[in-house]
Amino acid sequence: MAKISNMIEEFLKDLIEESRDGNIEIQRNHIAKDFDCSPSQINYVLRTRFSLKEGYRIISYRGGGGYVRIEKMVLDREHLVNELLKEIGDEISKGKAFSILDFLEEYKVCSERERKMLQTILEDHTLSIPVEKKNRLRAQILKLAIGVLSEKEG
Protein backbone atom coordinates (compact mmCIF):
# COMPACT_ATOMS: atom_id res chain seq x y z
CA MET A 1 0.00 0.00 0.00
CA ALA A 2 2.84 2.40 0.77
CA LYS A 3 4.30 1.78 -2.67
CA ILE A 4 1.14 2.86 -4.49
CA SER A 5 0.83 5.88 -2.18
CA ASN A 6 4.38 6.88 -3.07
CA MET A 7 3.65 6.48 -6.79
CA ILE A 8 0.48 8.59 -6.56
CA GLU A 9 2.32 11.26 -4.56
CA GLU A 10 5.17 11.37 -7.09
CA PHE A 11 2.71 11.54 -10.00
CA LEU A 12 0.79 14.45 -8.45
CA LYS A 13 3.97 16.34 -7.51
CA ASP A 14 5.24 15.94 -11.08
CA LEU A 15 1.97 17.40 -12.38
CA ILE A 16 2.31 20.32 -9.96
CA GLU A 17 5.91 20.96 -11.05
CA GLU A 18 4.84 20.95 -14.71
CA SER A 19 2.00 23.39 -14.11
CA ARG A 20 2.58 27.10 -14.67
CA ASP A 21 1.31 28.29 -11.31
CA GLY A 22 1.88 25.32 -9.00
CA ASN A 23 -1.82 24.41 -9.02
CA ILE A 24 -3.58 21.41 -10.52
CA GLU A 25 -7.12 20.11 -10.67
CA ILE A 26 -7.73 16.38 -10.62
CA GLN A 27 -10.64 14.00 -10.43
CA ARG A 28 -10.11 11.38 -7.74
CA ASN A 29 -11.99 8.73 -9.71
CA HIS A 30 -9.81 9.21 -12.80
CA ILE A 31 -6.55 9.05 -10.83
CA ALA A 32 -7.82 5.99 -8.94
CA LYS A 33 -8.66 4.31 -12.25
CA ASP A 34 -5.20 5.13 -13.66
CA PHE A 35 -3.53 3.59 -10.60
CA ASP A 36 -6.03 0.74 -10.27
CA CYS A 37 -6.92 1.66 -6.71
CA SER A 38 -9.93 3.00 -4.84
CA PRO A 39 -10.70 6.73 -4.61
CA SER A 40 -10.18 6.42 -0.85
CA GLN A 41 -6.50 5.69 -1.58
CA ILE A 42 -6.32 9.02 -3.41
CA ASN A 43 -7.98 10.70 -0.42
CA TYR A 44 -5.37 9.12 1.87
CA VAL A 45 -2.50 10.47 -0.25
CA LEU A 46 -4.06 13.94 -0.39
CA ARG A 47 -4.68 14.01 3.36
CA THR A 48 -1.23 12.76 4.38
CA ARG A 49 1.10 14.05 1.67
CA PHE A 50 -0.51 17.30 0.51
CA SER A 51 -1.53 18.99 3.73
CA LEU A 52 -0.93 22.54 4.84
CA LYS A 53 2.03 21.30 6.84
CA GLU A 54 3.66 20.06 3.63
CA GLY A 55 2.98 23.41 1.94
CA TYR A 56 -0.18 22.53 0.00
CA ARG A 57 -3.81 23.53 0.15
CA ILE A 58 -6.54 21.16 -0.99
CA ILE A 59 -9.90 22.45 -2.18
CA SER A 60 -12.63 19.91 -2.99
CA TYR A 61 -15.38 20.72 -5.46
CA ARG A 62 -18.57 18.77 -5.90
CA GLY A 63 -20.78 18.42 -8.92
CA GLY A 64 -19.79 17.70 -12.51
CA GLY A 65 -18.04 14.52 -11.39
CA GLY A 66 -16.31 16.33 -8.55
CA TYR A 67 -12.69 17.34 -8.57
CA VAL A 68 -9.92 18.46 -6.28
CA ARG A 69 -7.66 21.47 -6.65
CA ILE A 70 -4.16 21.11 -5.20
CA GLU A 71 -2.35 24.41 -4.67
CA LYS A 72 1.35 24.64 -3.82
CA MET A 73 1.58 27.51 -1.39
CA VAL A 74 4.09 30.33 -1.39
CA LEU A 75 5.11 30.49 2.24
CA ASP A 76 5.78 34.14 2.94
CA ARG A 77 4.55 35.14 6.39
CA GLU A 78 1.52 37.21 5.30
CA HIS A 79 0.30 34.61 2.84
CA LEU A 80 0.87 31.85 5.37
CA VAL A 81 -1.19 33.63 8.02
CA ASN A 82 -4.06 34.28 5.59
CA GLU A 83 -4.11 30.64 4.47
CA LEU A 84 -4.05 29.41 8.07
CA LEU A 85 -6.97 31.65 9.01
CA LYS A 86 -8.95 30.27 6.05
CA GLU A 87 -8.00 26.71 7.03
CA ILE A 88 -9.20 27.24 10.60
CA GLY A 89 -12.57 28.64 9.61
CA ASP A 90 -15.25 29.04 12.27
CA GLU A 91 -14.53 25.70 13.99
CA ILE A 92 -11.50 23.46 14.34
CA SER A 93 -10.88 20.10 15.97
CA LYS A 94 -8.14 19.64 18.54
CA GLY A 95 -6.16 17.40 16.19
CA LYS A 96 -6.27 19.86 13.32
CA ALA A 97 -5.41 22.76 15.66
CA PHE A 98 -2.40 20.84 17.00
CA SER A 99 -1.28 20.10 13.44
CA ILE A 100 -1.40 23.82 12.64
CA LEU A 101 0.62 24.58 15.77
CA ASP A 102 3.24 22.01 14.71
CA PHE A 103 3.36 23.70 11.32
CA LEU A 104 3.81 27.13 12.94
CA GLU A 105 6.72 25.85 14.99
CA GLU A 106 8.30 24.13 11.99
CA TYR A 107 8.18 27.38 9.97
CA LYS A 108 9.51 29.41 12.92
CA VAL A 109 6.32 31.42 13.43
CA CYS A 110 6.27 30.24 17.03
CA SER A 111 8.74 28.65 19.41
CA GLU A 112 8.43 25.20 20.93
CA ARG A 113 7.43 26.83 24.21
CA GLU A 114 4.70 28.91 22.54
CA ARG A 115 3.38 25.80 20.73
CA LYS A 116 3.21 23.82 23.97
CA MET A 117 1.49 26.70 25.78
CA LEU A 118 -1.12 27.02 23.02
CA GLN A 119 -1.68 23.26 22.94
CA THR A 120 -2.39 23.34 26.67
CA ILE A 121 -4.87 26.18 26.17
CA LEU A 122 -6.60 24.35 23.29
CA GLU A 123 -6.94 20.99 25.09
CA ASP A 124 -10.50 19.69 25.56
CA HIS A 125 -10.17 19.61 29.35
CA THR A 126 -8.97 23.24 29.41
CA LEU A 127 -11.98 24.48 27.45
CA SER A 128 -14.60 23.98 30.13
CA ILE A 129 -17.65 24.63 27.99
CA PRO A 130 -20.20 22.28 26.41
CA VAL A 131 -18.69 19.88 23.86
CA GLU A 132 -20.64 21.33 20.94
CA LYS A 133 -19.02 24.75 21.47
CA LYS A 134 -15.38 23.67 21.99
CA ASN A 135 -14.35 23.64 18.33
CA ARG A 136 -15.76 27.14 17.80
CA LEU A 137 -13.94 28.56 20.83
CA ARG A 138 -10.76 26.70 19.85
CA ALA A 139 -10.90 28.34 16.39
CA GLN A 140 -11.34 31.80 17.89
CA ILE A 141 -8.42 31.35 20.29
CA LEU A 142 -6.16 29.93 17.58
CA LYS A 143 -6.95 32.78 15.16
CA LEU A 144 -6.15 35.37 17.83
CA ALA A 145 -2.92 33.58 18.74
CA ILE A 146 -1.83 33.42 15.09
CA GLY A 147 -2.50 37.15 14.79
CA VAL A 148 -0.20 37.86 17.72
CA LEU A 149 2.46 35.38 16.59
CA SER A 150 2.52 36.81 13.08
CA GLU A 151 3.32 40.27 14.46
CA LYS A 152 6.57 39.19 16.13
CA GLU A 153 9.87 39.93 14.49
CA GLY A 154 11.03 36.96 12.56
Q: What is the pLDDT of residues 86-127, one digit of tens each?
A: 889 999 999 999 989 988 888 788 999 999 999 999 999 999
Higher pLDDT, 40 or 76: 40
Please report the pLDDT score of residue 67 as a whole number: 84
Distance of CA 24 to the CA centre of its chain: 16
Structure confidence at residue 132 as a pLDDT band (50, 70, 90): confident
pLDDT of residue 12: 96
Report the pLDDT value the prediction gives residue 64, as an integer from 0 to 100.
60
State residue 111's pLDDT score: 94
pLDDT tens, 5-64?
Answer: 999 999 999 999 999 988 999 998 899 999 999 988 998 999 889 987 777 888 888 766
Burial class of residue 75 (count of CB atoms within 10 Å of its CB; 0-12, 13-18, 19+): exposed
Could you give all domains of the chain from N- to C-terminal order, each with its CATH number? 2-72 (3.30.56.130), 77-151 (1.10.1200.150)
43 near 63, Cβ under 8 Å? Answer: no
Q: 3-class DSSP state for residue 112?
A: helix
CB-CB contact of 4 with 49 (8 Å): no
CA distances from 103 to 52, 61, 98, 120, 146 (A): 8, 25, 9, 16, 12
Question: Mean of the pLDDT values across residues 56-75?
Answer: 79
Q: Considering the entire predicted model, what is its pTM?
A: 0.61
